[in-house]
Amino acid sequence: MIIRKLDTIRTSERNIITDGWESARLLLKDDGMGFSFHITTMYAGKELRMHYRNHLESVFVLQGEGTIEDLATGEVHELSPGTLYVLNNHDRHIVRPRTDIVTACVFNPPVTGREVHDDTGAYPAETDLVSAKLATTD
């Protein structure tokens, strides 16, 4: 059994803060669950362009409001508490929070916690992380 407290995660290396969002990563790959689980806050006024080529993500909005744009179709959907969006086709998208949006997110495959968005908005596949590490140690 794994027991974790959000407040504890927020003060640990599992809490990642960027200019556009903050992600408390409660479960990661090394926890062995087959998925990772995060509480993520996307900051008001930011435009977050993302494309998870190597991961599927499910996002449940807990609080806040904004929009998500599907870049393949141009469709824009409202985000508000109780809304679920699922990036089941590695969808390229832009989230535009009007207020801070707090979400519960699940990634498959699980993230390791070391990932950062690349210039396309994606997290690298774990094999990419291994390759990058090998390249820096040669």
What is the tens place of the pLDDT at every residue in 68-93?
Answer: 999 999 999 999 999 999 999 999 99
Distance in angstroms (rounded) separating the CA atoms of residues 113 and 82: 26
User: Given the structure tokens 């990419």, which residue do they identify?
Assistant: 128
pTM of the full structure: 0.83
How far separated are the first and last CA of the chain, in Å rounded?
39
Residue 48 lies in a domain: yes
Sign of CA dihedral 54, 116, 113, 27: negative
15 Cβ contact list (under 8 Å, min separation 6)? 9, 22, 23, 24, 25
Does the pLDDT at position 115 exceed 90? no
Decide: 111 and 123 in contact? Cβ < 8 Å. Answer: yes
**Domain count along the chain:** 1
- In this prediction, residue 135 carries a pLDDT of 39
In whole numbers, what is the pLDDT of the chain averaged over residues?
88
Percentage of residues of the chain with pLDDT beyond 90 = 78
Chain centroid to Cα 55, Å, comes to 10
Between 122 and 109, residue with greater pLDDT: 109
Does the pLDDT at position 137 exceed 80? no
Residue 113 lies in a domain: yes
Poorest-confidence range of 2-11, 61-70, 86-95, 120-129?
120-129
Does the pLDDT at position 35 exceed 60? yes
Which CATH number do you get for residue 97?
2.60.120.10
Residue 17 lies in a domain: yes
For residues 41-66, average pLDDT: 96
- The CA distances from residue 78 to 34, 40, 47, 49, 74, in Å, are 30, 18, 14, 16, 13
SS3 content of the chain, % helix, strand, coil (to 5): 15, 40, 45
Look up residue 119 and give its DSSP letter.
T
- In this prediction, residue 53 carries a pLDDT of 87
Residue 1 lies in a domain: no
**Residues of the domain holding 25:** 6-137
- Residue at 127: amino acid letter: T
Between 4 and 114, residue with greater pLDDT: 4
